[in-house]
Amino acid sequence: MGEILATLNLKVYSFSDLKNATKSFKKDTVLGVGGFGTVYKGWVDENTLEPCKAGSGIMVAVKKLNHESVQGFQEWQYLNHLLFHKRCRTKS
């Protein structure tokens, strides 16, 4: 069974950061496509978690929402709802 984390330690990235991490969402970084949108391969620095040059640092997956996908938008809203409530509970 997976471990349930007591707190979420998440880093928030700007769209510009994600563009830098994925080489501007170029086709050669595509890992897959689904109902939610396209998944890209990106890279972040191992220590700072800031976007870094392709092929260096830690490889990460970046999902880019397909704005025409109702399924993807609903999943995104649900995930944000869960994360918001989790953050509220851990702060109190």
- Residues contributing to the annotated binding site for ATP: 64
Whole-number Å distance between alpha carbons of 61 and 2: 20
For residue 63, how many C-alpha atoms fall within 13 Å in the half-sphere facing its CB? 13
Annotated binding site: 64
Length of the chain: 92
3-state secondary structure of 51: strand
